[in-house]
Structures are given as C-alpha cells and as structure tokens.
Amino acid sequence: MKKIYSVFLCVTLVVMLNGCTGCKEVNTLVNLTPPNGIYDQLVLDTTFLTATFPAAQPKNVLIEDFTGEKCDNCPRAQARGVTVVETNPGRVSVLGIQCAPPLDNPYFSSFDLRTKHGDDLLGLEASNVTGLPTGDVDRKIYSGNPNSLISDFIWPSTTTSELALPTIANIDSFSKSYDPAGRIFSLKQNVTFTKASTDTFYYSAAIIESGMVGLQLTPTNVDSHFVFQHVLRKMIEPWNGLNIANGPAAGKTCRVSFSTILPSNWVADSCRVVTFVHRRGAKNDVEQVKETTIK
Amino acid sequence: MLKKLIIILFIFGSFLAKAQDDKGHLSGDVMINTTVYDRDTVIGTNTTQYLHEKSSAEAWFTLNYRIDGWSFTTRFDLYNNSPLLNPSEAYTAQGLAFYQIDKKIDKWEFTAGHFYDQFGSGILFRAYEDRLIGIDYAMLGVRVQYTPNDSFMIKAFTGEQKNRFGVWPQVMKGINSEKIWGIGNVGFLTGVGFLNRTLDQATMNTLANEINTLPYAQRFIPMYNMYAGTIYNTITFKNFSLYTEYAKKSQEAVFITDPTTNDVTLQNLPGDVFYTGLNYSFYGFGITLQYKKINSFIMRTTPYATILDGIMDYLPALSRQNSLRLPALYSVSAQAQGEQGIQGDVTYSIDKHNSFDVNGSYINLPNGTALYREIFGEYIKTFSKRVKGEFGIQSLVYNFQVYEGHPGDVVHTITPFVEMSIRLDDPNKISPDVSEGKVPLRPSIRFELQYLSTKQDSGSYAYALVELNLAPRYSFAISDMYNIIPSHTTADKINYYSAFFAYTQKQTRFTIGYAKQVAGVICTGGVCRVEPAFSGVRAGITTNF
C-alpha cells in the first residue's frame, strides 16, 4: 500500500510541476494568425468629428538620419542625433536609416541592420544619393536646397526652429498592448486636426531599436563595439504613409491601428515606435511626431 | 421527472418491504420558507418581487433510508418566484433535485446519483450545499471510495455539477487519497488530490468566438481541459497543529476584473494557492495563525458561470466570521482572482468568569492594494449564573469597490458593541420531572447594543436588539438598525427595524418576522454575495425526523 501511495504522490507532483505538458489539445477555433496583410499594415479604423476641439500639442520633430555601417562619418551624425534628442526630451525622434549600398552592407561578422524600405525612404527625399551621412529635419526643403537633405552639422539649429512652429495635428495613443509570449505589439492612435487645412495628410509608423553592439566603420578604424542607436527596424505598410485625411476640417479625428510581431532578435525593452503625420508628394513636410515605448 | 420518481419509489418500496424483517432506518428533514414583499422606495427595494410577484417560497424535503449497508437519499426542492438563487430573478421550479444510492461493501463504498464531498480543506474541490445563500454544488455522477484501514483512504469520482434542477454540461473527474502516519510523537495526515474539468463543445464555441473578437495580441488558444492538483499535510505534535496546502491549476480562460476600474477581460491564466494554518492551545489559551496566497485560482465549471454559480472549490476566508449585526455588516470572502493575507486569533480564559478574544486580519491584493483589515477585541464576563456579558470593539478597513463590484470609497469603521444575557428564572432551582408537553419555560432576556462609525458607504449606524426567550418553546425579538449619521447630508436617517417570533415544539421550529434589511454583502461560512435591500415578512418552518 505504501508503494501505491508513493507512486500516486509522485505522479501528482510530476503533473503539478510540469503543468501537464503531455496533455496537449487540438483547438482550431481561434484565429491566432491574422489573414495576410493584417500584421504590419496600417488600418484606418474610423474617422469622426470631435465634439470639443482639443488644444494643439507642441510641435515635435522628426530627424531622418541616413546612415550605413561602412560610412566612416556616420557615427558622428548618430551622436549628433542623440544629442538633439537628449537636449529636447520627448520632443525629437530620430530614425537611423541604413541605406545607400554599398555603404550599408554589413560586415561579414556583424548583423544586418538594413531594412526593406531604407533606400525607398532615401529616394523619397532625393535620388542618386551616394554620400553619407545625410538627413532631413521634418522632411522639409529649406530655402536654397534642391531637396530636404541637409548636413548633420545643421540638424540642431534646424530642429530648434522646427520645435518653435505650431502644428495642426495632435497624435494621442488610444490603446497599446504587447504580448511577450507571441511578441505581438499592437497600437491604436488618434490623430486630431485642431485647425482646418486644405492639404492631404498621411500617417506613418516606424519601429526603431537602440543598444545593439556591432561593427561600424569610423574615420580611424572599424569599431567592433559600436552601439547603434534609434536604428530603423521596420516601416509599417504602407511605408510611405497611409492616407488619413484630405482637406480635414477642424476637429476631424482619424483612428489608426496596426499590429506587428517583433522578431526574436529584437529586444522589446529597447524598441520604440515612432509615428508621424506628414504630407506626401511635392511636399513631404512632417506635421507632428509621437514616440512610444513598445512595453 | 415522473420516471425518476417512479424508479425511486420502486427502490424505496422494495427496501421498505425488506425492512419489515431487517428494520432499516428512515430519516429526513423539512424546511419551508415563505416571504411576502413590502415595497419600500426609501431603502431601495426594487427587485421584481416587490413590483410583480409580491411573495415567494422555497422548500426542501429530504428523505433518507438506510438498511443493510445501503443508503437511499432523495430531496424534493421547490422554488416559487424565488430570489434565492439569483436576487434579481423570480425563479419558479420544483421537483426532485437530489437522489443518491450508496452502498458499502466491506472496505468499498459506491455512490451513484448526487453526492457531496471534498478533497482536504476543499481548496481544490468541494461539493456542498448552503441553502441560506442559494448554493448547491452537489455532483451528479458516480463515486468510489476504498478504505482498507483506518489510516488510508482513496476515492475517485466523475460527474457533472448540479445546476438548479439540471447539471452544468462540463464533466469533472477527481481522485483523492489521504494517509495517516507518524514519527514518534509527531503525527501526520498527508493527502493528495487531482481534478480535471473538461469544457463542453458549446461553451468552447462561445469562448472561441469571444476570443476571435479580441486584438491579435490578446488572443490565445483556450483549453478544453483544466487540470489541478493539491498536496496537503497536517502535522500534530502535543498541543500544536500545523496544516499546509499547496494547490495549482493549469492555464485556462478566465474572466479577470480590474480592481480599480471593474473592467472585465478574458485572459489565459494558470493559478495556485498556498495556505497554512497553525493552532496551539494550552489550558485556556488558544492561538490560531493563518496565511494564504492566491494567484488567479478561479475554479468554475465554465468561465461564463456568474455570481456564485458553478464554483468547484472552497477558498477559506482570512477574516473573522462575526455573528453580530454591525460587526458583520462588512464581511468578506476569499478573492479567487488573487489575494494575500494573514489572520491571527488569540483566546485566553483567565478563569471560568473572564475570557478574552483578540483577532486580526490583514489582506491585500497581489499588487499590494489594501483589501481588508480587521482588529477585533472581545471580553466575555460571566457575572453570575444568571448574567453574562460580552463587550468588544471592532475596527476594519474594507475595499468597497473590490468586494461589492462597483465604485465606492474604501470603508473605515469602528464598531463598539455590548451583548448581555440574563436568565430570569432561578438557575439553582432543579426542575421536577415533567411529562411530555409540560416542560417548564425558562425565561431569559438578551440585549445587543452596537454602534458602527464610518464616513463612507451609507454612513454610521446604531443597532439595538431585545430578545425574550421562553426556552425551549418561544422566542421574541425586536431590533432596529438606525442610519444615525448618513454619509450624505441630504440622505434620510433610515430605520431598518425588525420583529421576530419563533415557536419550537420538539424538533419542529416555526418562525415569522417582519424586517427591513440594508443592501449589502451577505456571507455564510466565508462565502458571500451582494444582496439587495429587503422589506417584508418572512416565515419558515423546519423539522427533522
């Protein structure tokens, strides 16, 4: 009897400690994987007019830092971007966009930071760019320039000027969730226009990550412990922006949502999402930017 | 239903015929309650019985017959326009709600039909009935128990939990074993239990449909089967006794209520409970210490069971079960969704005439939010053979939003109370032998005075009760609970008065009373539910044979 009891006790213990891993069930009723295109796809959920007009938010600024692992002066531009962000906490977001091959080709022993749309984003600002670093502030074309690309030396002063401007678009997070088991991040935001405009507006979302350590060419050598900051990991489709409003009236609110799965080699704690409202076409000016943590 | 009745009458009849020779034993009990509702808009009586039905009744008639190792039990239940099972409903149904055949053969016991049972303390599984708050968690199925000797037992069952006059469609299976053993002067009672509950396809379809409406990031695959196990042990050494239990359940879909917003979300969570209790007693001194930690140990037949429906286990509350009206006004039950707390109780009898009881409870949510605090002190003085008094004070902190399920400030109360019992006859006088029906009446009177001071909820109350007993036949009581300082200055100072009469003849007791009762949480045995205000007449009769 003692033996029977001991066996029964052991079986119970094993079942409890293992959480009954051998009892797997089949259940196909729940759709865990969405239909193609649902992930990484911006969706305009709804639009409506708010009953009360909110006050305009302060204008935030987006810097697109076009960079590459084999661009020796790019670390300088990254450092300048970091300084601008730290000088204006919560007001400036940087996208470190690997582009312009072969400057963005990874070293053999390093990891690949290139994205599907890095070169597309550079092409949105100018064509046939062969020299890095370069970048833009709010995708604006400043007087005397043929396009929006400007030297990183003038990013700080240009950013300061942009921060002082008003904006007509507010971005507010409506809901956010992160499922660590499935590494699924979902975001829903409201874009509210506080003044009427005749322009057409688009909404873009980018996932960025900081803190990766890898190989980077510098003016003196190849730094094997270079820390990459605010690297663009992914643009949510459409990469060049989802049309949310054509000549919006004051008070018009557009609710946009998306979900994305973070690959296992991205550190969720180091990832952030940068969303921005902008124009597209002859002018690509960014109207407002918001940066949000993943977790 | 008719078939059931015929079969049971046939079986009973067969054995009653046999009983002419074997002398079996027939026993039973009856309870009948009826209520007449008197609408009172001031205290907020607004359920359907006050508007439409105006009266309700409940009845239970249990019959048990034992003979030659057999036991047959059946019970007729009746609910007529009854709010008992769901306070917002007028439920009408009647019929055979319980039937059981039980047979003992040597060291084996076989049960078919309905049965009540529990594993250990009931944390993993408990099938029981508490009709005062309308719960009947009987199982309908089969059970086998093997008891080879006094120190070992193993039992197993399979079945479905009773749901009113039917069953929940989810199947439950369980196995439990206990062994008594020892090392020197140290005694052990060790037990293990295992429970499995399988969701039916209709419930799974509903669940899957609901999950498919969630954002992808929140979706999960719901499990048909929930597995749970428990290990428990009691150690006894001289005057010490230590009970320890750990129970764990596998992941399943459960509805979780946010304690700050009361928003409900569907989640896929495992759960566990750790519970321990230490007892020590020594010459008039007794101490009890308990600790419990619950992490989402929600044990229901289906995630869609609400209020007190479909609960498969019993989680002991870490709070004193007060019997006086105002100290019991803010009673609590264990939060299956999660809580952590301790309770201590010390009793000390100085001599035959003086004793103390001090109790403290400290319960938090897993995130540290205060759920419940109670400090209770009581001095019991026996002044003479005629006069006995109890003097005490209670202070508590009560998380109204969590326990009552709707927004409200945390309640802080201080409640002093006095209870006096006075025998009006001469306790030294020896009653002469009397024939049946001429038992001398022993008069006594009992007073209660209580004052609950709080600035939250509906404010402060004063309570007084006078009860005249003419034992063993008559009992009369009047009481009033007065909302002496309402929390809102515009509110009326409401009287919740009641009058009560009871008449007892041998084992039969008849009661009738008129009462007004404040809305709130009603608890019995550590299980609670929120009940609406009451105004009306209640009458009841109970007996056994």
CB B234 within 8 A of CB B243: yes
Residue in A5, A23, A185 closest to B179 by CB? A5
Phi first, then psi: give them for residue B189, nearest 5 degrees.
-125, 110
Residue B216 falls within a domain, yes or no? no
For position A33, what pLDDT does the model report? Answer: 67
Omega cis (within 30) before A102:
yes
Residue A65 falls within a domain, yes or no? yes
Whose CA is closest to B471, among B509, B513, B433? B509
Interface of B with A in 340-369 (CB under 8 A): none
Residue A180 falls within a domain, yes or no? yes
pLDDT at A22 over 90: no
CB B232 within 8 A of CB B276: no
pLDDT at A25 over 90: no
Residue whose entry in the numeric block shows the structure tokens 């515009």: B490
Residue A118 falls within a domain, yes or no? yes
Whose CA is closest to A227, among A53, A63, A110? A110
- Residue B299 DSSP SS3: coil
Q: What is the pTM of this model?
A: 0.70
CB A61 within 8 A of CB A93: yes
pLDDT bracket for residue A3 (50, 70, 90): low
Q: State how many domains chain B has.
A: 1
Residue B350, both tokens: 């100085």
For position B493, what pLDDT does the model report? Answer: 84
- Which DSSP category does B311 fall into? B
Residue in B219, B224, B251 closest to A30 by CB? B219
Q: How far apart are CA B539 and CA B75, in angstroms?
A: 21
CB B91 within 8 A of CB B80: no
**Secondary structure string (H, E, C) spanning A186-239:** EEEEEEEECCCCCCEEEEEEEEEECCEEEEEECCCCEEEEEEECCEEEEECECC
CB A206 within 8 A of CB A213: no
Query: How many Cβ atoms sit within 10 Å of the Cβ of residue B214?
Result: 15
Residue B463, both tokens: 């309570």
Dihedral of the CA atoms B282, B283, B285, B286 (nearest 10)? Answer: 50
Which residue of A13, A20, A176, A255 to mutate against B (max B Cβ within 10 Å)?
A20
Q: How far is CA B489 from the centre of its chain?
A: 36
Q: How far apart are CA B348 and CA B236, in angstroms?
A: 21
Query: Which of chain B's residues have a Cβ under 8 Å away from the Cβ of A184?
Result: 216-217
B287's CB contacts (< 8 A; 6+ apart) are B278, B279, B280, B281, B344, B345, B346, B347
Q: How far apart are CA A279 and CA A285, in angstroms?
A: 5
Residue A209 falls within a domain, yes or no? yes
Residue A20 falls within a domain, yes or no? no
Identity of the residue numbered B411: V
Q: Which residues pair with B447 in a beta bridge?
A: B420, B466
CATH number at A184 reads 2.60.40.10
Q: How far apart are CA A19 and CA A24, in angstroms?
A: 11
What integer best gives the mean pLDDT of chain A? 89
Q: Which residues pair with A228 in a beta bridge?
A: A212
CB B312 within 8 A of CB B172: yes
Which residue of B147, B197, B216 to mutate against A (max A Cβ within 10 Å)?
B216
B251 touches A at CB < 8 Å: yes
Q: What is the CA radius of gyration of chain A?
A: 23
For position A4, what pLDDT does the model report? Answer: 62
Q: How far apart are CA A123 and CA A132, in angstroms?
A: 14
Contact A5/B216, CB-based, under 8 Å? no
CB B297 within 8 A of CB B249: yes
Residue in B179, B217, B227 closest to A23 by CB? B227
Q: How does strand A92-98 pair with strand A61-67?
A: parallel
pLDDT bracket for residue A6 (50, 70, 90): low
Residue B398, both tokens: 């009560």
Distance from CA of A206 to the nearest CA of B (A): 18
CB B87 within 8 A of CB B531: yes
Distance from CA of B475 to the nearest CA of A (A): 53
- Residue A21 DSSP SS3: coil
Query: How many Cβ atoms sit within 10 Å of the Cβ of residue A101?
Result: 13
The percent of residues in chain B predicted with pLDDT above 90, rounded, is 71
Q: How far apart are CA A162 and CA A150, in angstroms?
A: 14
Whether the complex's predicted ipTM surpasses the cut of 0.90: no
- Phi and psi based region of residue B365 (left: phi greater than 0; alpha: psi -120 to 50; beta: remaining): beta
Q: State which residues form the domain around A272.
A: 43-293
For position B5, what pLDDT does the model report? Answer: 54
- Phi and psi based region of residue B163 (left: phi greater than 0; alpha: psi -120 to 50; beta: remaining): beta
Burial of A67 (0-12, 13-18, 19+ CB in 10 A): buried
For position B536, what pLDDT does the model report? Answer: 93
**Number of A–B residue contacts, CB under 8 Å:** 78
Q: State how many domains chain A has.
A: 1
Q: State which residues form the domain around B31.
A: 1-76
Contact B222/A179, CB-based, under 8 Å? no
Residue A131 falls within a domain, yes or no? yes
A14 touches B at CB < 8 Å: no
Tens of pLDDT, residue by residue over A80-121, are 999 999 999 999 999 999 998 888 888 877 778 999 889 999
Residue B483, both tokens: 């909302």
Phi first, then psi: give them for residue B53, nearest 5 degrees.
-75, -35
Residue in A16, A30, A184 closest to B212 by CB? A30
Query: Which residues of chain B are modeled with pLDDT < 70?
Result: 1-22, 430-438, 489-491, 523-526
Q: Which helix (H) or strand (E) holds B56?
A: strand B55-67
pLDDT at A9 over 70: no
Query: Which of chain A's residues have a Cβ under 8 Å away from the Cβ of B250?
Result: 19-20, 23
Residue A235 falls within a domain, yes or no? yes
Residue A127 falls within a domain, yes or no? yes
Burial A246-281 (b: 16+ CB within 10 A, else e): eebeebbbbbbbbbbbbeeebeeebbbbbbbbbbbe
For position B307, what pLDDT does the model report? Answer: 81
Interface of B with A in 385-424 (CB under 8 A): none
